[in-house]
Structure 1
Amino acid sequence: MTTRHPNAGLERLHRETGWTLRQLAQEINRLGTERGTPVAYQKPSVHQWLNGQLPKESVRPLIIEAFSRKLLRPVTYGEAGFPEPAEESKNPPATVEGLMELGRQDMDPSRRSVLGAGLFSVALTVPGWQDVVGRMEAIKQNPKLRIGQAEVRAVLAMTERLSDLDDDFGGRYARPMAAAFLVNTVSPYLKAESSSETRNSMLSAAAFLCYLTGWMAVDEGAHGRAQQYYVRALELAGASGDHNTYCHVLRGMSVQAANLGHGAPAVRLANAAAEAAPESTPRMRAFMAGQQAHAYALAGERTNARTALREAERAVNQAESQLGTFGGFSSATLAYSTAEVRYALGDTLGSIQSLQDHFRLRDSTDMQRSKLIFSSLLAERQLQVGHLEEACATWNSVLDEYPAIHSGRIDEQMAKIASLLSSYQRNPIARQTSERSRELCLK
């Protein structure tokens, strides 16, 4: 299908990026691989689009996202000269119905590769607190089902168990169970008759479970799907008036953006979380400021990054105890945040020192998955500064525990070891580490 005239909107966006035709094609191909649907476009295809040929419907989101990431702002379909997608012209599903549909799609592990084909959007519309607070749609309640605080406690307890499974074994292991629990138990509870207090408590519990399921999707690399869960969690938190969970979700969205290297969206989300935070306890300030520091560093805002990091340091020093505080931000967490800020600002040696501080400060309650992820980062940075044998020792400690973890993020880190060590095959320790990583990644 073609239009009669060149696509002036697409041409305008292309000029604004400063890309060549080849560079735009390469970025679209990269995003296709990220989404799980590889494409192989070249200059002639981009030239045809600029001249008015309409790209395939499945490719248009890649083009929109490519421009949004390059220009650091939302780009609409209309701005690019494309018709609006049919599904976006309809009213979005109500919160509970949308949550049930999202969970149903996630319950079948055999469909995981298909469901993972979702693209992280830097321009995702995030509802503000005033957009969601207390605005739950009118739900037709089920008069045959009535719930009380016992059901709320059950959901909270189950969420804690699922979180423990996620921490110990990874998101691929726990997410189907979390999705099934959302669909089969929690969603019906949201439609049950209850007192006002119980209803708000259940909405709050559902919000945090929804956020946790999104976090599991991040661990699997299903970043578009994770964003869907996060938005539902924001809606549920607002409906219950749970300001803490709302801010926690926003911060988690910033962490996701930062881990993917998107500095500007990470800053926007971290600042939104900090501005909306209802508490001013030292632990909460550290929880928010630590993420702001990392986001600022990724965005190249050195002064803001250092200011936020100093605020996190002051707040942690003021906090007397981690028990019963929101976010669990500790001296070990601060050391990790410091490592990420230092690395983003170009101080690799300082980042290594801070990661080592993190491991020195960790305790037995810290999650196994983060231990392996942070250890992998430490090994990569040790190699970058030329500490080959130290890097191999760190990697081997991760490989010792890797088979018990079902984490997409750790899978990706382990898959990189062989290529990172490819230039060091004359060293027997490097060669042994490389061969061991290959063997374990094939299992």
Structure 2
Amino acid sequence: MAPRTRTPNTALRTLLTEAQWTRGQLVRAVVRVGAEQGVTLTYDDSTVSYWLKGSLPGPEIRPFICEAFSRRLRRPVTSAEAGFGSDTESGGADLVSDLVDLGRADMDPSRRGVLAAGLYSAALMVPRYTDLSGRLEASTAGRTIRVGPGEVATVRTMTDRIADILDELGGGHARPMAAAFLLNTVSPYLRADGSESVKRDMLAAASDLVYLTGWMAMYEREHGLGQRYYVQALHLAGSAEDHLTYCRTLRGMALQASNLGHGPKALELADSAAEASPKAGPRLRAFLAGQQAHGAGMVKDRRQAFARLAETETALSKADGRNDAVGGYDQSAYQFHVSHVLYELGDLPGSVKALQQSNRVRPPQERQGRVHANGLLAQRQLELGHVEAACATWETFLDDYAVISSARGDDHFHTMRLRIRPHLTNGAARNLHQRAVEVAALKA
């Protein structure tokens, strides 16, 4: 029997040429995308050679390759364009159907085995507010019940309660509640009949909840899922003509990009959020400008970063005393942004001081935020060589971490255990190490 021949993948070679990448550079980019999803890949140059000769990568790996090219070329690259055959995903029939599919996927434990569904795209095209505004008809097909202001109030109240649980107990406990409520209650409400004003209010309430759910998915390191929730929140907000949630969602997407190290994308999204809210009140203005400052710091634009911080401080000084649970902004958040900017621009001592100030003014119920802030603070104190100060901060971190469920907290815990090992001759470090062993046993 004659040996099987493969058709060379000229499409992939064309993309390599357009990206001006070597085979090794492609491999490293794909490995990085995989690492963001928690997948360890052990490819080398020869792997790309096989692909170029016509060998197809596994279906679960193809989205990683397309995303790597999308980031490099700053445009979406499909599986078909890469020579791997047609893409398998297709859009939902309407906005509510898409939300139902997303909620079901989030509640299904088997989703963790479907890598393509969890892929974050740095090249995602964000829909403009003007393209989404007023699309009520897309969300009201198949009406079976009628809703009024009471149902809208129910969604708003549940969103506030879930936000409180997120702050106190972590996203690991709060997000399953949000996903179940979206699927079982909110989705039928969105298909229900009602006055035009009530339907618009329901879309706005749903967009707030979907935004919060995306925020929690991001915090739990499910970045692809979080991005999908964010896009759904944009569509719902646009349909409701809810400028506020549209802008806050874009800002959340900017934070997600910054968490993943995509500085230019983080700044682009933060700028888009600010540009979409020309009539923003002072607290929202501060909320958006603070994220712009962080993005500017990431791209080393010192002038813009400090100008945005000054804008943030001025806006926050004009805000009233009200601070909503979903997307609120206060002095603690401002100092946290100051710390990010200073750290990105190389001022480590200033960054530590700002984080300490952020913690001092943080509301006591924000346990999850405090876990993240103390995890960062201890790492930066250790970078300064302040071992005992870092250990004291990590002790405080453990007080909160022991009672919440948070993937980001898990990351900080793992980092703490790794970084304290070289310092076990120090008494404070030994005590911290022993306590960490005990906490790990309780969490197992």
TM-score normalised per structure 1: 0.91
Question: Residues 274 and 288 of structure 1 are in contact (CA less than 8 Å); yes or no, is this contact kept in structure 2?
Answer: yes
52 and 300 in structure 1: CA distance in 2 versus 1, 3 angstrom threshold: farther
Q: What is the total number of aligned residue pairs between the two structures?
A: 437
1:35 aligns with 2:34: no
Report deviation, 1:341.
0.7
Question: Residues 96 and 139 of structure 2 are in contact (CA less than 8 Å); yes or no, is this contact kept in structure 1?
Answer: no
Residues in 1 aligned to 2:319 and 2:219: alpha-carbon distance in whole angstroms: 30
Residues in 2 aligned to 1:242 and 1:142: alpha-carbon distance in whole angstroms: 22
Question: Residues 237 and 246 of structure 1 are in contact (CA less than 8 Å); yes or no, is this contact kept in structure 2?
Answer: yes
259 and 149 in structure 1: CA distance in 2 versus 1, 3 angstrom threshold: same
Q: Greater shift after overlay, 59-68 or 221-230? A: 59-68
Report deviation, 1:132.
1.1
Question: Residues 160 and 326 of structure 2 are in contact (CA less than 8 Å); yes or no, is this contact kept in structure 1?
Answer: no
Report deviation, 1:230.
0.8
Residues in 2 aligned to 1:35 and 1:285: alpha-carbon distance in whole angstroms: 33
Aligned partner letter, 2:171: G
- Matching residue of 1:246: 246
Question: Residues 348 and 385 of structure 1 are in contact (CA less than 8 Å); yes or no, is this contact kept in structure 2?
Answer: yes
- Matching residue of 2:234: 234
Question: Residues 140 and 193 of structure 2 are in contact (CA less than 8 Å); yes or no, is this contact kept in structure 1?
Answer: no
Question: Residues 403 and 440 of structure 1 are in contact (CA less than 8 Å); yes or no, is this contact kept in structure 2?
Answer: yes
Deviations 1:352-408 (A, max 9, x none): 01111112222335x110011101100000000100000000001111221211011
- Matching residue of 1:213: 213
- Matching residue of 2:48: 46
1:179 aligns with 2:179: yes
Report deviation, 1:201.
0.7
Aligned partner letter, 1:47: S
1:434 aligns with 2:433: yes
Residues in 2 aligned to 1:210 and 1:2: alpha-carbon distance in whole angstroms: 49
- Matching residue of 1:4: 7
419 and 49 in structure 1: CA distance in 2 versus 1, 3 angstrom threshold: same
Report deviation, 1:94.
1.2
- Matching residue of 1:167: 167
Aligned residue runs from structure 1 range 316-335, under 5 A: 316-323=316-323, 327-335=327-335
Aligned residue runs from structure 1 range 115-130, under 5 A: 118-130=118-130
220 and 126 in structure 1: CA distance in 2 versus 1, 3 angstrom threshold: same
- Matching residue of 1:337: 337
Question: Residues 212 and 326 of structure 2 are in contact (CA less than 8 Å); yes or no, is this contact kept in structure 1?
Answer: no
Residues in 2 aligned to 1:112 and 1:385: alpha-carbon distance in whole angstroms: 41
396 and 351 in structure 1: CA distance in 2 versus 1, 3 angstrom threshold: same
Question: Residues 148 and 194 of structure 1 are in contact (CA less than 8 Å); yes or no, is this contact kept in structure 2?
Answer: yes
1:68 aligns with 2:70: yes
Residues in 1 aligned to 2:325 and 2:410: alpha-carbon distance in whole angstroms: 32
Q: Greater shift after overlay, 30-39 or 266-275? A: 30-39
Aligned partner letter, 2:7: R
Aligned partner letter, 1:392: C
- Matching residue of 1:140: 141
Question: Residues 166 and 173 of structure 1 are in contact (CA less than 8 Å); yes or no, is this contact kept in structure 2?
Answer: yes
Residues in 1 aligned to 2:225 and 2:408: alpha-carbon distance in whole angstroms: 15
Aligned partner letter, 2:101: E
- Matching residue of 2:396: 397
SS in 2 for 1:416: helix
Report deviation, 1:93.
3.4
1:370 aligns with 2:369: yes
Residues in 2 aligned to 1:43 and 1:435: alpha-carbon distance in whole angstroms: 44
Residues in 1 aligned to 2:388 and 2:331: alpha-carbon distance in whole angstroms: 28
SS in 2 for 1:375: helix
Question: Residues 284 and 326 of structure 1 are in contact (CA less than 8 Å); yes or no, is this contact kept in structure 2?
Answer: no
RMSD: 2.4
Report deviation, 1:72.
4.8
Q: Which runs of 5+ in 1 are unaligned?
A: none
Aligned partner letter, 1:60: R
Report deviation, 1:2.
7.3
Aligned partner letter, 2:162: L
Question: Residues 171 and 406 of structure 1 are in contact (CA less than 8 Å); yes or no, is this contact kept in structure 2?
Answer: yes
Aligned partner letter, 1:21: R
1:295 aligns with 2:295: yes
Q: Greater shift after overlay, 304-313 or 62-71? A: 62-71
Question: Residues 71 and 122 of structure 2 are in contact (CA less than 8 Å); yes or no, is this contact kept in structure 1?
Answer: yes
TM-score normalised per structure 2: 0.91
Report deviation, 1:20.
4.4
Deviations 1:269-321 (A, max 9, x none): 11111011142322222111100010111123222222212211222233353
Aligned partner letter, 2:140: I
Aligned partner letter, 1:305: A
Residues in 2 aligned to 1:14 and 1:208: alpha-carbon distance in whole angstroms: 41
Residues in 1 aligned to 2:91 and 2:376: alpha-carbon distance in whole angstroms: 43
Q: Greater shift after overlay, 54-63 or 321-330? A: 321-330
- Matching residue of 1:262: 262
49 and 324 in structure 1: CA distance in 2 versus 1, 3 angstrom threshold: closer
SS in 2 for 1:193: coil
SS in 2 for 1:126: coil
Residues in 2 aligned to 1:325 and 1:63: alpha-carbon distance in whole angstroms: 38
- Matching residue of 1:314: 314
Q: Greater shift after overlay, 92-101 or 185-194? A: 92-101
